[in-house]
Amino acid sequence: GAGVSQSPRYKVTKRGQDVALRCDPISGHVSLYWYRQALGQGPEFLTYFNYEAQQDKSGLPNDRFSAERPEGSISTLTIQRTEQRDSAMYRCASSPALAGGYNEQFFGPGTRLTVL
Amino acid sequence: DAKTTQPPSMDCAEGRAANLPCNHSTISGNEYVYWYRQIHSQGPQYIIHGLKNNETNEMASLIITEDRKSSTLILPHATLRDTAVYYCIVRVTNTDKLIFGTGTRLQVFP
C-alpha cells in the first residue's frame, strides 16, 4: 500500500517568498504530524492534527508558520515570508490511532526546503 | 517532558549483538519509551516501544530497568543495513508528540 507522500520533494525559494508544503497521509490514518529536521539533528516537532482538528501547535517557531488539514486528510504546512533559517527538511508523519495508546508514526520522505 | 540521554556513536561488528543504551531518569509512570531509527536521509522508522516490561519483536528487543530510569535496545545480530541513527524517545503523556534527541549513530562494520 502507499505510504505517506510529500510534495514537492525539493523546494528552492527566495527569501521573503511564501511556500506551501503538502503531506498526503496513509489512507485512513487519523493523526498527522509535522516535524522539521536540520542537518545532523533529530526531527523537531512542529504541530499535529487529529482528524481536522489541530491539537498542538506548540512547536511552530513563530507566526509565519501555519498548518491546516481541512478535511482530515491532506495537510498543508505554510511558511510565509521565508527566511534563510527556515531551510531544513520538513517531514510529515501519520498514525492510525488517536493519542493515548500505542501509536506508531509512519514518516514520509520529506521536503527539502532551501531559502536563498 | 522527560529527557533522554544517549551516547553519540557506537560501533558493532556484523553478526554481533548491538546494545544501545538510553537514560531517561525523569520518566513519569505512564510515559512510554519508544525507539526509532533513521537510515541515511530517509524518514525515521519505528522499531519498538515499551512501558515497564521487556519487549521483543522481529526487529529488536527492549530491556527496561525496574526503576524505568534507563533502557537498552538490542539488535541481536546486527547487519550492515542496521547502520543508522537510533533515537530513544519518551512519549509525552496523552499526546503523540515525539521529542527526538540527537540519537546514537550506530556503525556496523564487516
One digit per residue, the tens of pLDDT, for chain A of length 116 reads 589 999 999 999 999 999 999 999 999 999 999 999 998 899 999 999 999 999 999 999 999 999 999 999 999 999 999 999 999 999 999 998 775 556 789 999 999 999 99
Q: Best interface-test mutation with A: which of B87, B93, B96, B100 has the largest number of A CBs within 10 A?
A: B96
Q: How far is B80 from chain A (nearest CA, A)?
A: 21
**pLDDT for residue A40:** 87
Going by C-alpha positions, the residue among B100, B102, B106 that lies closest to residue B34 is: B100
Task: Look at B102 and A91 and tell me if their CB atoms are within 8 Å.
Answer: no
Residue in A59, A95, A109 nearest the CB of B43: A109
Taking 80 as the threshold, does the pLDDT of residue B34 lie above it?
Answer: yes
Q: Which of B51, B97, B100 to mutate to test the interface with A (most CBs of A within 10 A)?
A: B97
Alpha-carbon gap: B78 to the closest alpha carbon of chain A (Å) = 22
Q: Helix or strand or coil: residue B38?
A: strand
Q: How far apart are CA A33 and CA A21, in angstroms?
A: 13
Q: Are strands B104-109 and B9-13 parallel, antiparallel or unpaired?
A: parallel
Residues in A closer than 8 angstroms to B46, CB to CB, are 104-106
- On chain A, the residues whose CB falls within 8 A of the CB of B33 are none
**B93 Cβ neighbours under 8 A, 6+ residues apart:** B28, B30, B31
A92: which residues sit within 8 A by CB, 6+ positions away?
A4, A6, A23, A25, A32, A33, A34, A35, A75, A77, A107, A108, A110
Chain B residues with CB under 8 Å of A99 CB are 94-96
Residue B15 has a pLDDT of 97
Do the strands A111-115 and A10-13 form a parallel or antiparallel pair, or are they unpaired? Answer: parallel
The pLDDT assigned to A100 comes to 55
Taking alpha carbons only, the member of B8, B71, B65, B7 closest to residue B34 is B71
Q: What is the tens place of the pLDDT at every residue in B35-94?
A: 999 998 899 999 999 999 899 999 999 999 999 999 999 999 999 999 999 999 988 767
